Chains A and B, each alone.
Chain A
Amino acid sequence: MNFRGWIADWIEGLGRLAMLTREAVASLFTFKVAWSDLLYQVYFVGVKSQSVVLITGAFTGMVLGAQTYFQFHKVRMDTATLAVVSVSMCSELGPVLTGLMVAGRVGAAIAAELGTMKVTEQIDALRTLATHPVDYLVVPRLVALHIALPLLTIEAIAVGIGAGYLVGVYLLDIDSTYLWINMLKYTTSSDLTIGLIKSFIFGGIVALIGCYKGISCGEGAEGVGRATTEAVVYSSITILITNFFLTLTLGRIFHTL
């Protein structure tokens, strides 16, 4: 495919994704989401993703704590280590890493499930049973990710800070009181708010791209495989790019208030 064709495909894909988003938002306000479907999705997205998110949060907090200490120790700022871990985890690393891990686990699963339903005509069967696929397949997943991702992010942040604290106090011999007080002093509620807003938006990105890739999946096993891979890659890239613009926008809004 030449460059012009690739650009045309990319724009068409964006247009279709926008249409799906519009349909999902419209459905959200008019269609009664079945609680059982929503609860199952929250369980699948939230509860089942905890181990991955907790491990990621813990080791990120530990590495960040150790690395910050190595640099800060040179200028005798050891006790500010946890403050850096905390601010970074709250506003950047917590939401982004949780988003990326969930994109890998849940985005892939959504694309594979919906893609398989597409190639085995289950989505057509839904339509013949007078059920709109967006109402039944997309909306519960979208709402579940909007709910679950901020909660997972809070977990990742808490575990990351806790792990950074343990590394600082028990491995690097930093004074625990000053470490904790400085963390509280430099971490503001706006850092956490920024992180939660980001994670809410990342939840929407993972759900919509996963669902879009699944519903528009090509024929056969190859189509499902490609949809799954693309869902993870596009969700991850979109999260990283969106994060940059959100950091600028939310930073200006919250830090100038």
Chain B
Amino acid sequence: MIEVRDLKKSFGPNRILDGLSFEIPRGESLVIIGRSGGGKSVLLKHLIGLLMPDSGAVLIDGKNIVGMNERELLSVRGKFGMLFQGAALFDSMTVAENVAFAFRHSPEMTVREIQSKVGEVLEMVDLPGTENKKPSELSGGMRKRVGLARAIIYHPEIVLYDEPTTGLDPIVSDSIDKLILRVRDCLDVTTIVVTHDMRSARTVGQRILMLHDKKVYAAAPTDQFFQSQDPVIRRFIDGVSDAKEHYF
């Protein structure tokens, strides 16, 4: 289980998160939504210890990771897999080397076992036979699939997705959503998705948590959230701007 308590984070004079508290039970699919620049990705990076808060706590299975050093965090991160917004594939490596990265110093696995696992997981993300391709030869959607394969090959308990459908066409976005569901069901993982794609949020989320004005504005089951009549939530769902606000 993940628990966030009174999380605060600033970059210089800019306060990004101002006292966030929430819990994510094991096995849940949570979608975090909010405006661009609203701190969604920053929050996601706090959950895995890539960023440290100014104050507050992040508890993973009851253990507070705030204040842990980088080496202590390595063992906690074994529970996580993360898909980055731009996939963050290692340019100098092939698809197979990227996907197998977590096993590169694993003495208990033979090369044949690693190759078979890579093939298996690439099959799962619908990219069989791409082992020898370089990331530069792949499309945006394929890169995200490889990034996901790399994140799930070691069977993490929690998978984090940072804007998984951003920059993809609606059909590829839908295929990524289906893939997120497939990974959740096949591997029985806790899923946390940061997005501002409402269609994607409705498809993959069991619960939606909305960040607004540096705080958790709303958290509700997906159906209930989409039926909300709250003006802020409604404007976000319907994509309607407020004439009084400056967006640029």
**Structural contact, A127 and B50, CB atoms closer than 8 A:** yes
Chain A 121-148 interface 0/1 with B at a Cβ cutoff of 8 Å (1 = within): 1101101111110000000000000000
B57 interface contact, C-beta 8 A: no
* Contact (Cβ within 8 A) B88 A121: yes
Q: Inside 8 A of A122's CB, which chain B residues have their CB?
A: 88-91
A128 touches B50 (CB 8 A): yes
Query: Is B101 in contact with chain A by the CB < 8 A criterion?
Result: yes
Q: Which 10 A-B residue pairs are closest in the complex by CB-CB distance?
A: A125-B88, A121-B88, A128-B82, A130-B74, A121-B84, A130-B77, A122-B88, A130-B78, A129-B102, A124-B50
CB pair B80–A128 under 8 Å, yes or no, is: yes
CB pairs A–B below 8 angstroms (5 shown)? A34-B104, A121-B85, A124-B88, A128-B77, A132-B74
* Prevailing SS type, chain B contact patch: mixed
Shortest CB distance A118–B (Å): 11
Interface hits, B175-231 → A, CB 8 Å: none
Contact of A120 among B45, B70, B82, B88 (CB under 8 A): B88
Candidates A34, A124, A128, A132; contact of B71 at CB < 8 Å: A132
Taking CB as reference atom, which chain A residue is nearest B162? A121
Q: In the complex, are the beta carbons of B90 and A125 less than 8 A apart?
A: yes
User: In the complex, which of the residues A117, A127, A130 contacts B75, with contact meaning CB atoms closer than 8 Å?
Assistant: A130
Report chain B residues within 8 Å CB of A127: 50, 70, 73, 77
Contact indicator per residue, chain B 93-109, by CB within 8 Å of chain A (1) or not (0): 00000000110110000
Across the A-B interface, how many residue pairs have beta carbons closer than 8 Å? 52
Chain A residues lying within 8 Å of B73, measured Cβ to Cβ, are: 127
List B contacts of A124 (CB < 8 A).
45, 50, 84, 88
The distance from the CB of B98 to the nearest CB of chain A, in whole angstroms, is 9
B-contacting residues of A (Cβ < 8 Å)? Answer: 32, 34, 116-117, 120-122, 124-125, 127-132
Residues of B within 8 A of A117 (CB): 90
Expressed in whole angstroms, the minimum distance between the Cβ of A13 and any Cβ of chain B is: 17
Shortest distance between the CB of A96 and any CB in chain B (Å):
32
User: Contact residue range for chain B?
Assistant: 20 to 34
A124 to B150, CA, bound (A): 14
CB distance from B158 to the nearest CB of A (A): 11
Which of B70, B84, B104 is within 8 Å of A125, CB to CB? Answer: B84
Cβ contact within 8 Å between B86 and A120: yes
Q: Which residues of B contact A (CB under 8 A)?
A: 45, 48, 50, 70-71, 73-75, 77-78, 80-82, 84-86, 88-91, 101-102, 104-105, 147, 150-151
CB neighbours of A132 from chain B (8 A): 70-71, 74
Chain A residue nearest in CB terms to B71:
A132
Complex Cα distance, B88 from A124, in Å, reads 8
Q: Which residues of A contact B90 (CB under 8 A)?
A: 117, 122, 125
Q: B118 to nearest A CB, angstroms?
A: 14
Q: Which of A121, A128, A129 contacts B86 (CB 8 A)?
A: A121
CB distance from B155 to the nearest CB of A (A): 13
Instruction: Specify which chain B residues have a CB less than 8 angstroms from the CB of A34 in the assembled complex.
Output: 104-105
B150, A129: Cβ atoms closer than 8 Å? yes
Which of B48, B75, B91, B104 is within 8 Å of A128, CB to CB? B48
Interface-central residue, A34, A116, A122, A132, by most chain B CB under 10 Å: A122
Most A CB within 10 A of own CB, among B85, B101, B147: B101
Tell me, in angstroms, the Cα distance from A136 to B13 when the chains sit together: 34
Residue numbers in A under 8 Å from B84 (CB-CB): 121, 124-125
What is the minimal beta-carbon distance from A25 to any residue of chain B, in angstroms? 14
Residue of B nearest to A26 (CB): B71
A34 nearest CB neighbor, chain B only: B105
A130–B84 alpha-carbon span in the complex (Å): 15
Most buried by B among A32, A34, A117, A129: A129
With CB as the reference atom, state the residue of chain B lying closest to A133: B70
Q: Shortest distance in angstroms between B190's beta carbon and chain A's nearest beta carbon? A: 15
In the assembled complex, the Cα of A131 lies from the Cα of B150 at a distance in Å of 13
Q: By the criterion CB–CB under 8 Å, are B85 and A129 in contact?
A: no
Q: Using CB atoms, name the residue of chain A closest to B105.
A: A34
Question: CB-CB < 8 A to B102: which residues of A?
Answer: 129-130
Question: How many angstroms from the CA of A7 to the CA of B200 in the assembled complex?
Answer: 49
A40 to chain B, nearest CB (A): 10
- Chain A CB within 10 Å, residue with most, of B73, B90, B151: B90
